[in-house]
Structure 1
Amino acid sequence: MESNQQHLSQETAARLVNWDFAAATAATLVAPGPKMSRREIQDAVADLRRQADDAVSHVHRITGLDAAENLRDSQVLIVDRASWAKANSQSFAALMNPMLQHLAKTRPEAVNSTNTAVAGTLTGAELGAVLAFLASKVLGQYDPFAALASDNPAKTAGRLLLVAPNIISTERELNVDPTDFRLWVCLHEQTHRVQFAAAPWLRDHMLEQIGALSSGLMDKTQGLPERISQLAKQLSAAARKDKQDTPSNGVPARQTDVLSLLQDPEDKARLSHLTAVMSLLEGHANVVMDAVDASIIPSVKTIRRRFNDRGANRGWLDKFFRRIMGLDAKMRQYADGSKFVRAVVDKVGMEGFNRVWEGAENLPTEAEIHNPDLWIQRMGL
């Protein structure tokens, strides 16, 4: 009987979000990318693979992490935008299905079978629209949760996705040397791959934290529709205000705290920990990509300047969607994490900093990200 109930909860969870429809919607909505001949595409893919391979030795030299010498437990894939969206829909499914099964088992009234399929399709469509937007922006991504995806029979530890259309589109927009730019991007993404190889416990730790946060939200389903309605109204008002009040420099006049409507104090504590971890990972990768000089990437100064200037020229709608989808927060993670890593390395060296990969207890808190001396003191360095 218990086994039958578990099977039913799994089926219900699978209907709560139509992941296949999300991937199909994203593939329909997203633009294919710059026009290129078959030969140009083949050459670009081959070059991206070369740059990805070359980047690993630089990451090893800069970080001193021996894990960079053996990355056979993960994959490097050169993908288009639709493939990136499909891969992420699968990873989202792997991450969220345990939470959805928990909801189906503990709160069956919240997932009434008469409307589950319709709601799942609508949610899939909404997620597909989000993925379509992101699929045109992301240059690369290391997915440590790929082993959980149903399409990964090899169960590798993770996969690095390099989104070729976006990399090519960006290098053309910036008018920079393609080979230099591709290596620069690969340095950042391969650093993420090395991080999880150096800290094999990190994936399960993040899964545990994400699961606790997600289950906490599902256990608070009561009142969630009202909070989502309030969120929608706030975002709508913010969109109108941003359009009206955006100054000449293109920066919106007011920020919207999206997550504050959805998290109670316990959830905020979990989110604070995950924010600190993400800031660490992104900041560390940024420090590595900025550690190379003209002897490695001849046009690196030009690339950095033009890439940073690019963000200031986005329109209000792009900025708004980036903010509500967390991309602005991600950029802050780059900055905050980079400051933390540089401060620690300056004071105790890369070897001292690398203690962060030894165990979950060595991960910095959000307070320590903003005050690196606190982490240095706690580590006894």
Structure 2
Amino acid sequence: MSQTPDGAPEMVDWDLAVRVASRLAGQGPVVSPTEAADAVAELRAGADRSTALVRDFTGLVAAEHTAPVLVVDRAGWVQANADAFRHLVSPLVDQISAKNKKPPSGVSLAVGSRVTGLEVGGLLGFLAGKVLGQFDPFHAPDGRLLLVAPNIVHVERELDADPTDFRLWVCLHEETHRVQFTAVPWMRDHLFSEVQALSATVSPSGVDEVVRRLTEGLKGGIGQGGIVELLSTPEQREILDRVTGMMSLLEGHADVVMDGVGPSVIPTVDDIRTSFTRRRKGVGTLDRMLRRLLGLDAKMAQYRDGAQFVRSVVDKVGMAEFNTVWERAEHLPSKAELSDPDAWVSRVLG
């Protein structure tokens, strides 16, 4: 069982979460040792090659090799994200402990941590089979880039895509995230401060209200934002709207880069984009239901809305002026400005 430095059980049994998620995720597609080695080598090379391509297209300059590139299997992705979640929720745990005069302990805490461990494990297990790559900005000191090899191989086979083209296409998207966070040094602290702000709104006495909203939401249907939005108070939704604006910018910008650079270095990029966009809608009834429940439909909207915002602003003022968005947190688009790029141009560029 996961324990705090003083030996007490944690509020989430992270060890259990990792075991459950790894078991649920499975191994992925069957590949020979040679195929596996080739995929790893090609992904590493693709990430390295992408640095200059992203820099030349965006004008963002990030020092090379400031964040390591890790080509991982599903279990490796699970462990990395459990570590990241553990770091992210620490302010929330501290906040609850500070507000609650009688924090749970002993048997009740141990049981509760196992329940939450199972829940987190289930979520990570589902996502571990979906994620192709991810930049973890909170890994000290400068973050790290994760490329999930079995998932990339699975999708390229499913789409019947050229493996070399598809792997570079994925690397372009994920390397853009690495550049965003390493070329824009305030981004990491800003995102973490939003998590802290969200933690400050949590009240341990609000459990009954959470249960009520969840029950009503399940009866009336889960909205686009999934359970996260359903359980949010107005104050929390205000913070989540700011985070949505930020994450939509990051995801949309990466999509614009991968499609903008793609035609010059990836011969089959148009076929890949068409097939991949169709796949993002979910491949089966259960998959679509889980995506909606977890708010992954909203995640897909982030790619679409963010990309439309970036393209609109760049078409209007050019990439150099668009890059004003990276100068300070106040220049990030709001959720409303994502669908009204002219409002952002007026507010930020004058």
TM-score (norm 2): 0.93
Change (3 A) 1:103 1:256: closer
Q: Does the Cα contact within 8 Å between 1:12 and 1:113 map onto a contact in 2? A: no
Query: SS state of the match for residue 146, structure 2?
Result: strand
- Aligned equivalents of 2:9, 2:219: Cα separation in 1: 30
Identity of aligned residues (%): 49
Q: Does the Cα contact within 8 Å between 1:284 and 1:341 map onto a contact in 2? A: yes
5+ residue gaps, structure 2, are none
CA deviations on 1:184-218 (whole Å, 9 max, x unpaired) are: 0111000000001121011111101111112312x
Deviation of 1:229 (Å): 5.6
Q: Does the Cα contact within 8 Å between 2:50 and 2:171 map onto a contact in 1? A: yes
**1:190-229 correspondence runs (5 A):** 190-217=175-202, 220-228=203-211
Task: Give the structure 2 partner of residue 362 of structure 1.
Answer: 331
Deviation of 1:320 (Å): 1.2
- Alignment-mate amino acid for residue 49 of structure 1: R
Deviation of 1:224 (Å): 1.8
Q: Does the Cα contact within 8 Å between 1:14 and 1:97 map onto a contact in 2? A: no
Q: Does the Cα contact within 8 Å between 2:25 and 2:75 map onto a contact in 1? A: yes
- Aligned equivalents of 1:225, 1:115: Cα separation in 2: 18
- Alignment-mate amino acid for residue 134 of structure 1: L
- Aligned equivalents of 2:190, 2:133: Cα separation in 1: 23
Task: Give the structure 2 partner of residue 176 of structure 1.
Answer: 161
Choose the corresponding residue for 1:91, options 79, 84, 96: 84
- Alignment-mate amino acid for residue 322 of structure 1: R
- Alignment-mate amino acid for residue 158 of structure 1: G
Q: Does the Cα contact within 8 Å between 1:171 and 1:181 map onto a contact in 2? A: yes
Deviation of 1:10 (Å): 6.9
Change (3 A) 1:354 1:195: same
- Alignment-mate amino acid for residue 101 of structure 1: D
- Alignment-mate amino acid for residue 117 of structure 1: A
- Aligned equivalents of 1:293, 1:207: Cα separation in 2: 32
Query: SS state of the match for residue 266, structure 2?
Result: coil
Deviation of 1:258 (Å): 3.0
Task: Give the structure 2 partner of residue 61 of structure 1.
Answer: 56
TM-score (norm 1): 0.86
Q: Does the Cα contact within 8 Å between 1:13 and 1:97 map onto a contact in 2? A: no
Count of equivalent residues: 348
Change (3 A) 1:180 1:256: closer
- Alignment-mate amino acid for residue 81 of structure 1: R
**1:92-131 correspondence runs (5 A):** 92-131=85-124
Task: Give the structure 2 partner of residue 133 of structure 1.
Answer: 126
Change (3 A) 1:308 1:228: same
Q: Does the Cα contact within 8 Å between 1:231 and 1:261 map onto a contact in 2? A: yes
Residue 324 of structure 2 is aligned to residue 350 of structure 1: no
Task: Give the structure 2 partner of residue 324 of structure 1.
Answer: 293
- Aligned equivalents of 1:133, 1:160: Cα separation in 2: 20
- Aligned equivalents of 1:281, 1:193: Cα separation in 2: 10
Deviation of 1:35 (Å): 0.6
Q: Does the Cα contact within 8 Å between 1:192 and 1:285 map onto a contact in 2? A: yes
Deviation of 1:328 (Å): 1.1
Choose the corresponding residue for 1:33, options 24, 28, 31: 28
Residue 267 of structure 2 is aligned to residue 298 of structure 1: yes
Q: Does the Cα contact within 8 Å between 1:12 and 1:101 map onto a contact in 2? A: no
- Alignment-mate amino acid for residue 125 of structure 2: A
Query: SS state of the match for residue 201, structure 2?
Result: helix
- Alignment-mate amino acid for residue 143 of structure 2: G
Runs of 4+, deviation exceeding 6 Å: none
Change (3 A) 1:255 1:73: closer
Task: Give the structure 1 partner of residue 19 of structure 2.
Answer: 24
Root-mean-square deviation over aligned CA pairs: 2.2
- Aligned equivalents of 2:145, 2:188: Cα separation in 1: 14
